[in-house]
């Protein structure tokens, strides 16, 4: 997959793209990231990329000309690309959208700064707007990194152990469960017995039940989206039975 990123601050992305899983994916050519600075597409002496908003008000707006020129310089190569503007007004990013975008051959990510881009950029070239959540950031660069990292994990070959992707929270629709490693007892806190039992089937069932328990407790909205198996329904019934039992215990 190739991702073109349009940003006034390529220095924000560069170091992150060099490290760890992303760095390896790029090195192994499973992913190609090209950073383009719209400032390089300005025509004036001051390389102006922003201007004051018509109608007045605070802040600056990113100008049309450098953005159209920059995006058109990429589109020459392939006109079918999705152009994604990272914007607080966009569709909230979730794993379903990540999976959908990971199917594309090419993407263009547009990072804005200041109060955003001239609306004619959105009307003229942007195909999708994506937000990473309901909080205020200073621009689209960190959201673009979030999106790139999430997409990269869905690309074939990037994660060696595909099982760890499939069992991941949000891939399978459930939150992750508690994890333990050695020592078996630390400051009088012990690892659950079942994990030490060596009974693989018992461990698998226990883990599924714990995943359902923690998800039911913290994110019941995720349970509503699940396709439940027969076993899931049994486990949920067990959890419900445990719950009504403890409820009785705390009654007078
Ligand atoms: C933040 C730009 C606020 C514009 C109401 C009306 C990209 C982002 C961003 C930014 C405003 C994302 C206003 C989650 C984010 C991003 C910069 C609008 C003035 N408010 N996902 N007018 N959060 N943020 N502010 O901030 O570019 S994806």
**Percent of residues, the chain, with pLDDT higher than 70:** 97
Instruction: State whether the beta carbon of 143 lies less than 6 angstroms from ligand 1.
Output: yes
Q: Residue 164 pLDDT > 80, yes or no?
A: no
| Predicted confidence (pLDDT) per residue in 97-129, tens digit | 999 999 999 999 999 998 999 999 999 999 999
- Give the per-residue pLDDT at 239: 98
Its pTM stands at 0.94
Is residue 153 part of the annotated active site? The answer reads: yes
Instruction: State whether the beta carbon of 7 lies less than 6 angstroms from ligand 1.
Output: no
Q: Which of 68-77, 134-143, 168-177 has the highest mean pLDDT?
A: 134-143
| Predicted confidence (pLDDT) per residue in 225-235, tens digit | 999 999 999 99
Q: Which domains does the chain have, with CATH numbers?
A: 2-152 (3.40.1280.10), 185-250 (1.10.1270.20)
What mean pLDDT is predicted for residues 20-43? Answer: 98
Specify whether the CB–CB gap between 13 and 145 falls below 8 A: yes
- Give the per-residue pLDDT at 79: 65
- Give the per-residue pLDDT at 77: 61
Mean pLDDT of the chain: 95
Q: Which of 3, 6, 144, 16 is nearest to 78 (CA)?
A: 3
Q: Which residues of 33-61 are buried (b: 16+ CB within 10 A; e: fewer)?
A: bebbbbeebbeeeeeebbeeeeeeeeeeb
Between CA 236 and CA 47 the distance in angstroms is 61
Q: Which of 16, 2, 1, 4 is nearest to 149 (CA)?
A: 16
Instruction: State whether the beta carbon of 10 lies less than 6 angstroms from ligand 1.
Output: no
Q: Residue 251 pLDDT > 80, yes or no?
A: no
The ligand 1 atom nearest the CA atom of 137: 26
Confidence of residue 197 (pLDDT cuts 50, 70, 90): very high
| Predicted confidence (pLDDT) per residue in 81-98, tens digit | 899 999 999 999 999 999
- Cα(138) to centroid(ligand 1), Å: 7
Q: Residue 244 pLDDT > 90, yes or no?
A: yes
Instruction: State whether the beta carbon of 88 lies less than 6 angstroms from ligand 1.
Output: yes
Q: Residue 78 pLDDT > 80, yes or no?
A: no
What mean pLDDT is predicted for residues 29-42? Answer: 98
Q: Residue 170 pLDDT > 60, yes or no?
A: yes
């Amino acid at each position: 997959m190739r991702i073109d990123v349009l940003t006034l601050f390529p220095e924000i992305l560069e170091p992150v793209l060099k490290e760890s899983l992303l760095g390896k994916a790029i090195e192994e050519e499973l992913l190609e990231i090209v950073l383009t600075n719209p400032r390089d597409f300005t025509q004036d002496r001051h390389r102006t990329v922003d201007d004051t908003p018509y109608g007045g008000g605070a802040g600056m707006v990113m100008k049309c000309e450098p953005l159209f020129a920059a995006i058109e310089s990429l589109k020459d190569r392939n006109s079918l690309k999705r152009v994604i503007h990272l914007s607080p007004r966009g569709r909230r990013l979730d794993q379903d959208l990540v999976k959908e975008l990971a199917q594309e051959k090419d993407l263009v990510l547009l990072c804005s700064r200041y109060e955003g881009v001239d609306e004619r950029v959105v009307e003229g070239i942007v195909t999708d707007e994506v937000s990473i959540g309901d909080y205020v950031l200073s621009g689209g660069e960190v959201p673009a990194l979030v999106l790139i990292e999430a997409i990269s994990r869905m690309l074939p070959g990037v994660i060696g152990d595909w099982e760890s992707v499939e069992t991941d929270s949000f891939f399978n629709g459930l939150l992750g469960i508690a994890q333990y490693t050695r020592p078996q007892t630390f400051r009088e806190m012990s690892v659950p017995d079942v994990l030490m039992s060596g009974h693989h089937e018992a461990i698998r069932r226990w883990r599924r039940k714990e995943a359902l328990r923690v998800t039911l407790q913290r994110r019941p909205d995720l349970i509503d989206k699940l396709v439940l198996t027969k076993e899931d329904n049994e486990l949920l019934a067990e959890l419900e039975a445990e719950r009504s039992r403890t409820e009785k215990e705390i009654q007078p």
